Amino acid sequence: MFENAPKDVDNAIVTGKSGAGKQPRIDVLVDEYDLEQLSTGDIFRSYLKKANEFDHQGDISELWDDKKESFVSDKEISKKIGTEKEDIILGLKAKYFVDRGKFVPDHITNELFESYFRKKDYRNQVLDGYPRTLDQAKYLLEIMEKKDFEIDFIVWVRNTDEKIIERTVKRRICPDCGKVYHLKYDPPEDGKCKECGVDVIQRSDDTEEKIRSRLQEFQEKTKPMLEFLGSKIPVAEVPGHLEEFTPENVKKSVMSELEKL
Ligand SMILES: [Zn+2]
CATH number at residue 246: 3.40.50.300
Distance of CA 196 from the midpoint of ligand 1 (Å): 4
| Residue 199 CA to ligand 1 centre (angstroms) | 9
Task: Give dist(CA 210, CA 164) in Å, integer.
Answer: 12
In a domain, 189, yes or no: no
Answer yes or no: is 134 within a domain. Answer: yes
Would you call 239 exposed, middle or buried from its count of C-beta atoms within 10 A (0-12, 13-18, 19+)?
Answer: middle
Dihedral over alpha carbons 14, 17, 20, 22 (to 10 degrees): 20
174 CA → ligand 1 middle, Å: 5
- Kindly give the distance from the C-alpha atom of residue 206 to the centroid of ligand 1, in angstroms, as a whole number: 18
- Compute, in angstroms, the gap from residue 22 CA to the centroid of ligand 1: 24
Q: Report percent pLDDT > 70 for the chain.
A: 100
pLDDT digits (tens, 9 = 90+) for 71-124: 999 999 999 999 999 999 999 999 999 999 988 999 999 999 999 999 999 999
Q: Are 34 and 27 in contact (CB under 8 A)?
A: no
Distance 179 CA to ligand 1 centre (A): 6
Please check whether residue 183 lies inside any domain of the structure.
no
57-92 residues labelled b (16+ CB within 10 A) or e (exposed): eeebeebbeeeeeebeeeeebeebbeeeeebbbbbb
**Ligand 1 geometric centre to CA of 200 (Å):** 8
Distance from Cα 188 to the centre of ligand 1, integer Å: 10
CA-CA distance, 48 to 63, in Å (whole number)?
16
Ligand 1 midpoint to CA 136 (Å): 38
99 assigned to some structural domain: yes
User: What does each C-alpha distance from 80 to 53, 77, 162, 193 come to in angstroms?
Assistant: 17, 5, 50, 50
Residue 185 pLDDT class (50, 70, 90 cuts) = confident
* Among the listed residues 98, 84, 89, 81, the one whose alpha carbon sits nearest the alpha carbon of residue 45: 98
Residue 191 alpha carbon to ligand 1 centre in Å: 11
Residues in the chain: 261
pTM exceeds cut of 0.85: yes
In total, how many domains does the chain have? 1
Q: Please report which confidence band the pLDDT of residue 55 belongs to, taking 50, 70 and 90 as the band edges.
A: confident
In a domain, 5, yes or no: no
pLDDT in tens, 113-166: 999 999 999 999 999 999 999 999 999 999 999 999 999 999 999 999 999 999
Note whether 112 and 97 are within 8 A (CB).
no
Question: Tens digits of per-residue pLDDT, 221-253?
Answer: 999 999 999 999 999 999 999 999 899 999 999
* pLDDT exceeds 90 at position 215: yes
- Please tell me the distance from the alpha carbon of residue 161 to that of residue 212, in angstroms, as a whole number: 8
177 C-alpha to ligand 1 centroid (Å): 4
Measure 29 CA to ligand 1 centroid, in angstroms.
Answer: 29
Mean pLDDT score, 45-63: 92
Share of the chain above pLDDT 90, in %: 93
Which residues does residue 237 pair with via DSSP β-bridges, in sequence order? 156
d(CA 24, ligand 1 centre) in Å: 22
In a domain, residue 168? The reply is no
CA of 197 to the centre of ligand 1 (A): 7
Task: Tell me whether residue 174 is in a domain.
Answer: no
The verdict on residue 202 lying in a domain is: no
Task: Give the pLDDT of residue 56.
Answer: 85
Say which DSSP state 189 is in.
B
> Which residues are within 5 Å of ligand 1 (an ion), measured at CB?
174, 176-177, 179, 193, 195-196
Residue 118 CA to ligand 1 center (angstroms) comes to 38
Find all residues with CB under 8 Å of 125, minimum gap 6, and list them: 11, 12, 35, 36, 37, 38, 117
Residues 6+ apart with CB under 8 A from 70: 64
Which are the contacts of 196, defined by CB distance < 8 A and separation ≥ 6? Answer: 174, 176, 177
| Domain enclosing residue 68, as ranges | 11-160+221-256
Q: How far is the CA of 181 from the centre of ligand 1 (A)?
A: 10
21-30, 45-54, 56-65: least confidently modelled range = 56-65
Q: How far is CA 40 from CA 43, 106, 110, in A?
A: 5, 12, 10
Q: Residue 46: which pLDDT band, with cuts at 50, 70 and 90? A: very high
Q: How far is the CA of 203 from the centre of ligand 1 (A)?
A: 14
